[in-house]
Amino acid sequence: MHLEEDCIGKLPVADDVLYGINTTRALHNFDIAKERTDSLIFESLIQIKKSAAIVNHRAGTLNEQKAKLIVAACNELLLGQHQDDLVAPAIQGSAGTSVNMNVNEVVAKSAMSLAENVTIQINDDVNQCQSTNDTYPTAGKMAILKALPPLLQQIDKMITTLLDLAKRYTDVLKVGRTQLEDAVPTTYGNSFHAYASLFRRDVTRLRTAAEALHTVNLGGTAIGTGLNATDYYRSHIVDALNTTSGLDLELAEDMIDATQNTDTFVTFSSAMKVLAVDLSKFCNDLRLLNSGPQAGFSEIRLPAKQAGSSIMPGKVNPVIPEVVNQVAFQVIGQDLTISMAAEAGQLELNAFEPIMFRDLLQNERYLTNAIDTLVRNCLADLTVNVAQCEKNVHHSAVSATVLNPYLGYVETTFLVKEALAKGVSVQTLLKAKKLLDPDLVERLFSPAVMTNQVPTTQSRFETQR
């Protein structure tokens, strides 16, 4: 152990770590969840430090030797070295200062280990022209953008799988249901295609919400005025960072606004919340349609993944939709946390970005992994119980709705009641009563007519003319 000193006082710091007193205090003060700051935030901050060293050297405010050492240290970190020293807690006070200082300390000590008799100052050199208030939110936005492509990729896979199911079961009739009561028929092709359309909108929402995350306040320093940053740095740092990170970031037009307001995080969180709501509704439908197998709907068969009961032999539960439901609940709940954290910002800065970034990044990963398991472990091997669907449609009196243009609503209602009372299908009763031509009856109760894919050739209005 050795003593280090800051504006608070002296504190023992371990000899075998690269971080210093600032990070040590953070570990003591924020011992809450034993959860480190997300690795993508650390990575993004290191990319910012590397870019800043390059720009500050070009501006003439950082000598060549120090700049090269800082860049070399950042490269080592970006290649995966010294990861055990990036330990700042995910949930912390001071608007992310502990994360920024953790990186400053590790970069400085790592840089000094690469050359003898060179002193790299954590604030004056590594953090030159910067503030936590512009580096941390920029790193957070970068991290969210980096975590987005895997999520979009999984949604695209799910959409493709749903469209494949729609094609496979395009002509399989099913009883439509509104308010859990029988409604006019549709097909499983229509149902799976509708789900695909739903998730396509989620992709659009996420992409649209992510556009605003490309706008950053880097160079604004403490409150957006750019105090202590050179004009050269402010003009060139975002371009340098784009070169380092491969992202397409741009400088905010109003840096003070970009420093104090966090509505873009709320917008992106909301897009993920909608995705979670849609996923949960979809999984509710899957569980309901799979219910049974004897006493439920039993219209689809989800793949069996594990025994469902410790007491009931042979019971299999819809565990994959269930776990996705729970992920959705978590994402929806954390959206509220993000909203409250954004609302709690005061005057020139929001101090609550740490919890926003923690939840935003966790939600991205949860949704990515949940959709992956839903596709691989459920949708890929989902089958439709065609025989059960045909039976349900045949015995559903509501299919008689197609008779309204021929018999009228009142007469059709009496026909439905009689069919239900006698326990026979409407089609059977209709033929027995000889109310319509048998060929017309067959045509009216065909999948194409019942799902309104083709028009009927006759109606009571036409026969009355």
Is there a contact between 184 and 450 (Cβ–Cβ < 8 Å)? yes
Specify the higher pLDDT residue, 329 or 412. 329
| Domain assignment of residue 207, yes or no | yes
| Domain assignment of residue 143, yes or no | yes
Residue 37 confidence (pLDDT) above 50? yes
CA dihedral 50, 53, 55, 61 (to 10 degrees): 170
Number of domains in the chain: 3
pLDDT of residue 432: 87
- List, for residues 376-388, the tens digit of each pLDDT value: 999 999 999 999 9
360 with 324, same domain: the answer is yes
97 with 172, same domain: the answer is no
| Domain assignment of residue 240, yes or no | no
pLDDT of residue 455: 62
Instruction: Tell me whether residue 309 is one of the annotated catalytic residues.
Output: yes
| Domain assignment of residue 244, yes or no | no
- List, for residues 281-334, the tens digit of each pLDDT value: 999 999 999 999 999 999 999 999 999 888 999 999 999 999 999 999 999 999
Specify the higher pLDDT residue, 428 or 261. 261
φ and ψ at residue 36, rounded to 5 degrees: -75, 160
118 with 142, same domain: the answer is no
Residue 463 confidence (pLDDT) above 60? no
Residue corresponding to tokens 């995080």: 265
When pLDDT is averaged across residues 399-405 and rounded to a whole number, the result is 84
355 with 262, same domain: the answer is yes
User: How are beta strands 215-216 and 250-251 bridged, if at all?
Assistant: parallel
Rounded Cα distance, 287 and 194, in Å: 17
Q: What is the CATH number of the domain that holds 111?
A: 1.10.275.10
CA dihedral 150, 153, 154, 160 (to 10 degrees): 180
Last residue of a domain, one of 80, 111, 128: 128
pTM for this predicted structure: 0.93
| Domain assignment of residue 227, yes or no | no
375 with 406, same domain: the answer is no
Q: Omega before 303 cis (within 30°)? A: no
Is there a contact between 12 and 20 (Cβ–Cβ < 8 Å)? no
User: How are beta strands 383-384 and 300-301 bridged, if at all?
Assistant: antiparallel
- List, for residues 183-200, the tens digit of each pLDDT value: 889 999 999 999 999 999
- 122-131, 227-236, 328-337, 443-452: range with lowest mean pLDDT: 443-452
| Domain assignment of residue 247, yes or no | no
Last residue of a domain, one of 94, 128, 162: 128
pLDDT of residue 464: 43
Specify the higher pLDDT residue, 428 or 134. 134
Look at residues 249, 12, 44, 214 and name the one whose alpha carbon lies nearest to residue 139.
Answer: 44
| Domain assignment of residue 79, yes or no | yes
Rounded Cα distance, 364 and 215, in Å: 20
Last residue of a domain, one of 128, 147, 167: 128
- Domain of residue 297, residue span: 135-222+257-386
439 with 358, same domain: the answer is no
CB atoms within 10 A of CB 179: 5
| Domain assignment of residue 242, yes or no | no
Catalytic residue among 131, 235, 245, 309: 309
